[in-house]
Each structure stands twice: as structure tokens, then as C-alpha cells.
Structure 1
Amino acid sequence: MSSTDSHGTLAGGWRTFLVLWGSQSISQIGSYVAWFALNVYVAQTLYPDPAQKAPLALALGAFAIAATLTAVLLAPLAGSLVDRTPRRRVMLACDVLSGAVTLGMCALMFSMVVPFWLLFAYVIVTQSLSIFHEAALESSYAMIVPGEQLTRANGMMQTTRQFSNLLAPTLATLLIGVPALLGRGSLGGGWLAHLGSGVPFALLVDGVSFLIAAAFLAGLTIPSPPPAEHHGSAAANLRADTRLGWTYLLRRPPLLHLLLLAAALNFATAAIPVYQTLLTTFTLEPDRTARGLSFAATLAIIQTVTSAGMFLGGLAISAWGGLKKRRVLGILVPALLSGAGLVLMGLSGNVYLTAAAFALTVFVMPITNAHSGGIWQSQVPRELQGRVFAVRRMIGRITVPLGMALVTGLSASLPPGPVIAAMGVLVIAICAWQLLNPRVQRVEDREYLEGLAAARGG
């Protein structure tokens, strides 16, 4: 039986984390590939006619909205569950169920054209399982990783997300092209001729990746804190757990300030893909024309540099490991640079300077997120992390659609550059305020936080 140290962290926990990180990274790559392929399936199989532009836009928008709302609405339930159930069991169940559901959808696609309503249900089910899995995984770091390695661990997970985002389009495109490849010449592949696309192969990869992650997870020891007590019905427990998460934060203003900063940063940067298209279309049109660049070439340059910037940011924080002291500066200073990047991209009319501004804005985001995750996992008691992180997740994510809606709405009547620059000014102002806030500077002082909580009644 594996032992734990005086802080309750699993002995040899970094090795355990590396196995967990590696296996879950495989699963995450598979999920990004499947998500990309699913959108291709909707566009090329369900609504391929140019006259179907409206239903196609509604379908893709429905997927995005469903994913966001599912994350927000299920966060309290997921947080409550992972504080009351062994977290390894939750992750294992989610991996197995996700694998089974995905392989089932794959089988359907091999045999029929899957209607949109069924794809929509599939998205809701898999996204729901993902929320529970994420809640259990994020709450497990502090149980297996030494405190000084928490920032690095979060950075490695950030790197996986960015690498998956970079790799998914290429890998998905290769898988989608499998029927056409096998249907040529001597390769034959007659049994695949009716498919039209290889989207089912992308789902097959995703389903298998879930089962691989589950197989590794089954062999790991991941301790959980003592489960929260049950008081009455499940609904009563959920209400109490949600109230506990909110109360915990309201009584500890430094953590609440960090949460509001994260929400503002998400609000300002959520629409980066929209920024890329708007700036290429309007602000950069004179410069790209003068350089002989087409719209597609300009957009490709900006998107490639942006993706590379975020991936390199993840690599940087993973290799560095982050600040060991005053980690709050690892949140505020990079966030300040991110705001400066937004201002620069909004004011620039030069293609390459704009691309560099995008790269700066996203390069520092994994650094901010990794330090933030390390602070939250260090400061919130392990037995409360599911419920407190649920509130954190709700606030952080609800600002994403709000930010996208505001930017797209304002850009319909205003030049996009000043709108984006104003977002950057908002981020800079909030970061400057928090840098000057003495309470926020003491967010890593557990005794100080608990003293504030005691003064507020608990």
C-alpha cells in the first residue's frame, strides 16, 4: 500500500503524476481530434449545400453553447460529487463511459448518417462526463504532487492542451481522408466506399484513447481526502455544497480577487479567434494588400503564430516550473503582459506586428494559469477543493460567452481595433489594481486567509 507524507501527499507522487499526465494527454489529444472531426461531419455530411449556411451556423453554434452551458451548470454537481466520492473512481468511470459512448457513436457512423439531434445528445453526454473528470483530476493534484511542483504540474497540463490544439486539425484531416486513400487503386477498401468521410476513424481514435487512459488509471494509487458528510437528500447536499463553495470564497477576499481577475482575463481573451478574423478583414486590409498577401494567407500567418505562441508558453512554464515564492506575481505580471498584447493588436495596422501581439497575448496565458492553479491547489483544503473549484470554474467560464457576445456585438457597429484595445486596457487596469492590493499580495499566506475567514464568521 502506498504511503503519504506529513501533508497527505502520496509518496512517489511525481512519478504517479507523470503516468497520469501521459495517459490523460493521450485521451485529451483524442478528444480534440474527435471535436474537430465532429464539426467537419456536420459541415460536409449533414449540411454540405451552400444554401444550408444558416442551419450549419446554428448547428456549430449549438455545439459550442452546449459545451459551455454544460460546464457551467454541472460544475456544482461535479464539485459536490468529487468531494464525496473517491476521485480516482470518478475519473475511471468517466474515462470508461466516455470511451464506450464514443465507440458507440463511431459504430453508428460506420453504418448510417447520424442525425444532428443524436450528435447533439452525444456532445452533451461526453461534455458532461468531461466536466466530472476534470473536477476529479484538478482536485487530485494536491494529493499526489509535492507542493513545490504544483505550478509545473499545471503547466504540463496546459502544454498538453495547446499541443492537442495544434495537432488535432492535422491528425483529424488525415483520419478523415482514410476512406478516400484506401478507395484508390490497389489499396481497395471497398467496404469503406459508402462512408464518404473518415470521421468515424477520428471517433475510433478518441474512444480507444479513453480506454487507454482508463487502463493506466486503474493501475495507479490516487488518494482522496475523507469524504464530506451527507446531510439529508442529494438535493440538500448539493445546495449545501454550492453554498459552502461560495461562502468559502466570500470569506477569503484575496482568492475572490484572483477569481475576478481570471474572469476578466477570460472575458477579454475569449474571442481571440474572432479577433483574428475581424482584424484580418478590416484593420489589416491595407497592409496585407500592400504586401501582396491574400486574406487566407494573412489569417493563416496570424493563427499559426498564435498557436505557436501558446504552445511555447506551455513549454516554458513546464520547463521552468514557475515561481516558488510570491507565485501571485506569476499571475499578475503575465496577465499584465497579456493586456498589453491586446492593446497592441488592437492599435496595430501591421500584419507581422499584429501576429507578434497575438503571440505575446497567448504566450503568457499558460504561465498565468499554471501559477493560478498552483495557488488554488495549495491554499484550498484538499477535502473542499471539489466544491470550491466548482465555483471557480463557473465564474471563470461564464465570462467566455459573455465576452464573445460583447465583442461581436460591438464590432458590428464599431471598428474592431479600438474594441480589442479597450479589452486590453480593462485587463491592465485590473492587474494594476491587484498589484497594488496588499491583500492580494498575501494570498499565499494560509494563516492570513483563515484569519480573514474567522473575522467574517467562519
Structure 2
Amino acid sequence: MSPTHFPDARAGGWRTFLALWGSQSVSQIGSYVAWFALNVYVAQTLYPDPAQKAPLALALGAFAIAATLGAVLLAPVAGSVADRTPRRRVMLVCDVLSGLLTLGLFVLMTAMVVPFWLLFAFVVVTQALSIFHEAALESSYAMIVPEEQLTRANGMMQTTRQFGSLLAPTLATLLIGVPALLGHGPAAGGWLAHLNSGVPFALLVDGASFLIAAAFLARLPIPSPPPAEDHGGAAANLKADTRLGWTYLLRRPPLLHLLFLAAALNFATAAIPVYQTLLTTFTLEPDRTARGLSFAATLAIIQTVTSAGMFLGGLAISTWGGLKRRRVLGILLPSLLSGAGLVLMGLSGNVYLTAAAFALAVFVMPITNAHSAGIWQRQVPRELQGRVFAVRRMVARFTVPLGMAFVSGLSTTLPPGPVIAALGVLVIVISGLQLLNPTVQRVEDKAYLEALAAARGEGPSAARGKEADSTAGTG
């Protein structure tokens, strides 16, 4: 269904999106700062003793697992809610609740040492709210932005994420150092005198950023498609909605092929932070020693160049706006380059060449992601995007922990370089096969997609027709 069929669709157009992007960018950067600060709090306040390495590793791992696993498990629920509830309301509730919870933790930290179990509960709840917020936000782009601007819009969001990851450590470090900067004791004044860390100030910034985003959101005209119909209660709706998302994709092979490509890319690139450490420790040791570089200096060079590469990639796609025709090439060609970067970083023994390979591999990621998101937002009917995108997120992100486990496991017995290079070859092969696949080349042909769906038993008006039918199945 075309977005023009919805009343008030794209109300405010590009100006509305810019206001949404700006306010949500403030919130995203605040969240990156808070996430960095929480990890510092766990390491320096809860488990500062060198003998506490094991509980520290378990605590940090628990945070990462909560974020990754939550995104997979909650995706169907979040997608269903995004299609059954006004999307602005979903985002607004998530922003307000996240802001209040973060400010509540700020107050607690100024009064006591917060135990790990409470921090973990905070991470679980706020990450869950983030997943619901993401589902509503991603499915709102096509309701606001003209189709020709969707790639640029997604690129701008990618740039915000990279900028936030670059800025967060510096900003968080400054905030954490506030008590030391002002001095301890009575001269510091009141409750500030007993603070050994400024982590609460990072939470204060994050909580305020959520409420700022909510204030802007409350005034933005963000239309939603007609809500999905209810059929037998929340449990039945969730089961039907999940089946509907899968059915929609299974009947449109070009989109399914793109999904599998994304899953393969995530599998190969999810462990890039792990690659940095492994290569610095083993593969690059002779070269960095010859250059007089310490382990820390070498790792810092690689991480800085990698972050800069990803940020520049986001900036490039935001400025360029992406391909206007045959946008699928904006996914496949950068994927080939990303695979080449993985091969080069795996085979290189030179510090600076390896850093350049990391930069190449990640530079193209925002370009790939922006073109991919733009295609999905154009091809999937607006009223189905929450549920279909939920399946997309579930499959694509499920391979992230698998990729990390795969690389970490093999690297215990094999040199990490060849393992990484092999994953790069895998990406090149899969991307090359999809580049030669005529089905994938027609992923932007809506008439072709609907013809495929019709041939598999689904009419062109499947958006709602299958929804009612799916509740009757045993599935």
C-alpha cells in the first residue's frame, strides 16, 4: 500500500525528520555515554580489586548478553506493538520511561553504592524499552520521508550512532572526573563531597537527553498507518503477527535473500572488537615490536582508525544520499569491499596496513545498512513494517553472538589471522553470488514481488488479508 493512501502521511516531511533525527541523536549519544560510564562503574566501584577479574568479566559479559539476547527475543513483541499502537506514542512512552529510570538510578548512585543486580535489572529494562523504541522509529521513516530520501535518512541515523560511539568515551571520562576536578571534602560542597566517581553525572546527562527527545517528539506530527486488527487477545495476536512476518518474507525470495546476506555479514563482522585484540596480541606482535609500539598503543591506533572509518562512512552516505537507481548495488558492492577488508586484515602482519583494512571493512557498513534499510522501507507496506522488520532484526542479529562465539572458539586453537581471512572470503563469495542472482537484482520491483507472492497463494492486498487468516492456523 502506498503511503499516500494514509491521511496526513509525511506530515512535515523532511523538516519533521530533521527534528526527529536531531532530538533522537541527542538521546542516542546520551545512551552511549551512560553505557560507557556503567561499565566504568562496574570495573572501578563494584569490582576494583585485581583478584576480582572473574566477577568483573562475568558482569560485563552479562551486560552484553542482556543487550544482544533481548534484541532477539523481544523483536516479535516490539514489531507487533509498533503495528498495533500509534508509533509516536510507543516512542514517547519509551523515551519518558527510560528518562525517569535513568534519573532514578542517578539519584541512587549519589546516595549509595548500587549493587550489580540492580544495575543488571536497569540494563535489562532500559534495553527492552530501547528495542520497542527502535521498532517504532524504524517503521516510521517511510511515513515521514519521501521515498527518494529514505537512504539518506537511514545514513544520517547511522552517522549518529558512529559519532556517539566516538564521542562517548571522551564525554563520559570528563563527566566521571567531575568530583576530582572540583575536589573532595567540604570545599566540594554537600553531597558531592562523598562521591568518588562522576558516573552519576553521565546518567544525569542520559536521563535529561531522553526527556529532551520526548519533549520534541510530543510536538512532531508522526502519522501511523491504521492499526492492525485484534484477533483473540495478545497471545494470539503475537503468534499471528510473528507468523505473518515470516510468511511475508517466505513469499518474497528477493527480500529473503537480502536478509540472509545481512545475517552472513553480521556473522563475519560482529566480532570486529575481538579481531582488534586478537590481531594485536598475536599476528601484529613482531611488527609492533619492531616499530617500538606497545600493545596498548597498537590497539589504540587500530581502534581509533576503525572508529574514524565507520564515522566517515556514515558521513559519506548522509552527504551523498545513496544510489537513486539499482539501490541493491549499494548493498552488494560495499559488502564485497567489506569482505576484502576482512581478508586483508587477516593476512596482513603490518600494523598500519591492518588498521587500514579495519577502516575499509567498516567504512562501507553504514553505506550497506542505509541502502538495505531504504529498500526494506520502500518495499514493505507501511502497516506491516513493524512485524516484518521484527523478523528481519531477529534473523540478522541472531548471528551476532554466533559469530563472536565462532571466532573466539576457533582462535583458541588456530591463529586468528587465517580465521578472519576465511570469514572475509565467505562474505565475498556470498556477496558475489547475490550480485549474479537475477532474483536479488529485482528486489526493488514491487510488481515482481507481488507476482511472486501471488504465485505462492497471497494476493496483492496481503497486508491485512493474511493477518486475519493467520490466527486460524495451528502453526
Where 1:83 maps in the other structure, the secondary structure is: helix
Give distance in 2, aligned partners of 1:7 and 1:106.
Answer: 42
Shift of 1:124: 0.5
Give distance in 1, aligned partners of 2:94 and 2:40.
Answer: 25
* Residue 51 of structure 2 is aligned to residue 59 of structure 1: no
* Residues 247-296 of structure 1: CA deviation (Å, up to 9, x unaligned): 00011000000000000000000000000000001000111111111111
The alpha-carbon distance between structure 1 residues 225 and 344, as it changes in their structure 2 partners (threshold 3 A), is: same
The equivalences for 1:204-353 within 5 A come to 204-353=204-353
* Residue 124 of structure 2 is aligned to residue 124 of structure 1: yes
Give distance in 2, aligned partners of 1:332 and 1:91.
Answer: 32
Other-structure match for 1:34: 34
Shift of 1:10: 1.4
Other-structure match for 1:377: 377
Q: Which letter does structure 2 place at the counterpart of 1:93? A: V
Where 2:275 maps in the other structure, the secondary structure is: helix
The equivalences for 1:418-429 within 5 A come to 418-429=418-429
Shift of 1:191: 2.7
Shift of 1:190: 5.0
* Residue 158 of structure 2 is aligned to residue 158 of structure 1: yes
* Residues 342-396 of structure 1: CA deviation (Å, up to 9, x unaligned): 0000000000000000000000000000000000000000000000000000011
Where 2:84 maps in the other structure, the secondary structure is: coil
Shift of 1:409: 0.4
Other-structure match for 1:192: 192
Shift of 1:5: 4.8
Q: Which letter does structure 2 place at the counterpart of 1:249? A: L
Shift of 1:230: 0.4
* Residues 290-333 of structure 1: CA deviation (Å, up to 9, x unaligned): 11111111111000000000000000000000001100000000
Q: Is the 8 A contact 2:185 2:194 kept in 1?
A: no
Other-structure match for 2:409: 409
Q: Which letter does structure 2 place at the counterpart of 1:424? A: G
Q: Which letter does structure 1 place at the counterpart of 2:126? A: T
Q: Is the 8 A contact 2:227 2:383 kept in 1?
A: yes
The alpha-carbon distance between structure 1 residues 213 and 400, as it changes in their structure 2 partners (threshold 3 A), is: same
After TM superposition, where is structure 1 displaced by more than 3 Å over at least 4 residues in a row?
4-9, 184-187
Other-structure match for 2:449: 449
- % identical equivalent positions: 86
Q: Which letter does structure 1 place at the counterpart of 2:145? A: V
* Residue 390 of structure 2 is aligned to residue 390 of structure 1: yes
TM value normalised by structure 2:
0.94
Other-structure match for 1:139: 139
Q: Is the 8 A contact 1:261 1:431 kept in 2?
A: yes
TM value normalised by structure 1:
0.98
The aligned length equals 455
Where 1:193 maps in the other structure, the secondary structure is: helix
Q: Is the 8 A contact 2:11 2:221 kept in 1?
A: no
Q: Is the 8 A contact 1:76 1:242 kept in 2?
A: yes
Other-structure match for 1:363: 363
Give distance in 1, aligned partners of 2:206 and 2:158.
Answer: 19
* Residues 106-134 of structure 1: CA deviation (Å, up to 9, x unaligned): 11111110000000000000000000000
Shift of 1:175: 0.4
Give distance in 2, aligned partners of 1:190 and 1:265.
Answer: 52
Shift of 1:194: 1.5
Q: Is the 8 A contact 2:11 2:223 kept in 1?
A: no
Q: Is the 8 A contact 1:183 1:190 kept in 2?
A: no
Shift of 1:21: 0.1
Q: Which letter does structure 2 place at the counterpart of 1:293? A: L
* Residues 388-426 of structure 1: CA deviation (Å, up to 9, x unaligned): 000000011111000000000000000000000001000
Q: Which letter does structure 2 place at the counterpart of 1:394? A: M
Give distance in 2, aligned partners of 1:396 and 1:288.
Answer: 36
5+ residue gaps, structure 1, are none
Give distance in 2, aligned partners of 1:56 and 1:141.
Answer: 40
Farther off after superposition, 190-199 or 180-189: 180-189
Give distance in 2, aligned partners of 1:170 and 1:62.
Answer: 24
Q: Is the 8 A contact 2:91 2:133 kept in 1?
A: yes
Give distance in 1, aligned partners of 2:99 and 2:254.
Answer: 40
Shift of 1:176: 0.5
Q: Which letter does structure 2 place at the counterpart of 1:217? A: L
Give distance in 2, aligned partners of 1:381 and 1:47.
Answer: 49
5+ residue gaps, structure 2, are 459-475
Where 2:403 maps in the other structure, the secondary structure is: helix
